[in-house]
A and B are shown apart, each in its own frame.
Chain A
Amino acid sequence: MVFSSLFFLYLFLPLCMLSYAATKTIKSRNTVLIIFSLIFYAWGEPLYVLILILSAVVNYILALLIERYRDGTGAKAALVFSLVFNIGMLGIFKYSGFIAENINAVFSADIEPPDIRLPIGISFYTFQIISYIVDCYWEKVHAQKSFPKFLMYVSLFPQLVAGPIVRYSTIESEINMRRTTIDDLSSGITRLIFGLSKKVIIANNLSTIVDSFFGSEIKGLSVMGTWYAVILYAMQIYFDFSGYSDMAIGLGRIFGFHFDENFNYPFICRDVSEFWQRWHISLGTFFRDYLLYLPLFGKRRKYANLFLVWFCTGLWHGASWNYVLWGLYFGLFIFIEQLVGKKRMKKIPIAVKHVYNKLVIIIGFGIFYFENMKELGNFFKNLIGLNGNKFIDSFVTISLENNLYLIIAAVLFCFPVAKAVGQLVQKSRRFCYVTGTAQVAVNICLLLCSSLLLVDATNNPFLYFRF
């Protein structure tokens, strides 16, 4: 089930919210959330839901063991076991095919790649569990004594399948006690509708354009066509993914949870390092807290750890070499920015920096798009016209004109325009009535418009589902 479907919005969600509203105690509310979360997950994974529950059981016990045998080697053993278990699960379900392929390629062996389908959201909930276990070991949080509460943390449907990766410490107190204020409810709903609109109105329609250019062999595309499509693709992913995070955060607030932000207008960044502080923040902080300071390498550990983190970031996004390449590609630019140093970076004119980082980011999304290395090669050649392709053709000009308003809106909303306008009007108290009414009207309009477009979306998968 995806959030941006009529089935979720107009059947699952109303039922869930009504049931939630009908219960009063925290215990029964948690029960409602657990039941609906498990239904939500089992809807897409009737079998793999057992893996989710197994993971929860195993790690629930291990966390208790860590706390109980804190002073001996028991805690360490439990931690190691948990890490092996969690990373092993990821390895089996996400990477076994990839590993087999590579072993075959390197040793010309003939291992049959196992036919294992990737369980939805496993990358996200496994990382949440790892963060919980390590935090327990580091005594940053207390192990959760109640299994239902822990299961709720792991399976909570708003962030279950596509993030953000919510830290246990963020919602620890809210698992035990929370209330939804009118403020939470109102801003949660608004956030949900905004996220939905980002996904359905902008991302889905950008995706149609991108597919029309990259959908078949790309060798014949013009130089401008390739640039045009990859720029739109970068925006598509942004709206798709951040829209999903918005919906998750909004849904969380409706139920009284306050998740951390996952995106912070990444495209306004001044350098590549900053981009990654603004893009998929929960993943970046995860790797920073749990991998970056791993004392594996001796003297050179700063850069060795840097590339380790970026290798893992790439691999996390998908079991394919282009994702690894994509991760290392960003690692390389961050490495270069480190070598240049902040002081010297500061002296570079801001315009130059923007051109530089946008180029790096946009080409990065090209690497992200093309899983096939040959197509990726053609993509690079296309960018600089090495395929003997034209500079520009009618496809680009017509497509641009046909979608002009959509694209302008997309570019505007990549930057904090709406936020700035919102703050500006909010300051003037006199307009309170006007803005209040406008907000409600905009919400209803966006909701209706998104729903209408969803009628047309018979095929509407989320990009980030496979991770």
Chain B
Amino acid sequence: MNMNEIMERLNEVFRDVFDDKRLVVDEYTTADDIEDWDSLEHINLIAAVEQEFKMKFKMKEVSGMKNVGEMAEIVRERAKR
């Protein structure tokens, strides 16, 4: 899986979770950029990403994620194995 593909699929997940068809995310998107992305909605987002990529985040990662790029990076690492 390459980064582009991951980002594309992540974007779909984001659109789904935040219920916004026009939403576009890139590596540098942070919680501040998306109004609905608060600490609680983060949980739903994580669950949706986990489901999409059939993987699990560690609590450390969930708590420490700074932007979408980091999220994608973790997804890529996990998907390798």
A interface residues with partner B (beta carbon < 8 Å)? 137-138, 140, 273, 288-290, 292-295, 299, 301-302, 305-306, 334, 338, 341-343
Contacts and interface: CB of A to CB of B under 8 A. Distances in A.
Contact of A292 (B43, B60, B64): B43
Given A301-B43, A302-B43, A305-B43, A293 B36 contact: no
A273 B43 contact: no
A306 B43 CA distance: 10
Q: Please name the 7 residue pairs, one residue from A and one from B, whose CB atoms are nearest each other, closest first.
A: A293-B62, A138-B60, A302-B43, A342-B36, A288-B39, A289-B63, A293-B63
Interface in B15-64: 35-36, 38-44, 46-47, 56, 59-60, 62-64
A304 B29 CA distance: 27
Contacts of B63: 138, 288-290, 292-293
A131 to B, nearest CB: 11
Contacts of B35: 342-343
B42 to A, nearest CB: 8
B64 A138 contact: yes
Contacts of A343: 35-36
A140 B64 contact: yes
Contacts of B41: 302, 338
A138 B31 CA distance: 21
Contact of B38 (A273, A290, A305): A273
Nearest to B51: A299
Nearest to B42: A293
Contacts of A137: 60
Contacts of B62: 293
A293 B43 CA distance: 7
A123 B72 CA distance: 37
Interface of B: 35-36, 38-44, 46-47, 56, 59-60, 62-64
Contacts of B60: 137-138
A323 B63 CA distance: 27
A294 B38 contact: no
B39 A292 contact: yes
Given A288-B39, A292-B39, A294-B59, A302 B64 contact: no
B44 A295 contact: no
A318 to B, nearest CB: 25
Contacts of A302: 40-41, 43-44, 47
Contacts of A342: 35-36, 38
Q: Counting chain A CB atoms within 10 Å of each CB, which of B38, B42, B43, B64 scores highest?
A: B43
A350 B56 CA distance: 40
A155 to B, nearest CB: 27
Contacts of A289: 63
Contacts of B64: 138, 140
A253 to B, nearest CB: 27
B59 A293 contact: yes
Contact of A338 (B40, B46, B47, B59): B40
A341 B18 CA distance: 10
A287 to B, nearest CB: 10
Contacts of B59: 293-295
B36 to A, nearest CB: 5
Given A289-B63, A294-B59, A301 B40 contact: no
Given A293-B63, A295-B59, A301 B47 contact: yes
Nearest to A334: B40
Nearest to A306: B40
Contacts of A341: 36
18 contacts: A138-B60, A138-B63, A138-B64, A288-B63, A290-B63, A293-B42, A293-B43, A293-B46, A293-B59, A293-B63, A295-B59, A301-B43, A301-B47, A302-B43, A302-B47, A338-B40, A342-B38, A343-B35
Contacts of B42: 293
Contacts of B39: 288, 292
A466 to B, nearest CB: 28
A343 B56 CA distance: 30
A20 to B, nearest CB: 35
A168 to B, nearest CB: 15
A290 B60 CA distance: 9
Contacts of B46: 293
A138 B63 CA distance: 10
Nearest to B37: A342
Nearest to B39: A288
Nearest to A137: B60
Contacts of A288: 39, 63
A294 B47 CA distance: 12
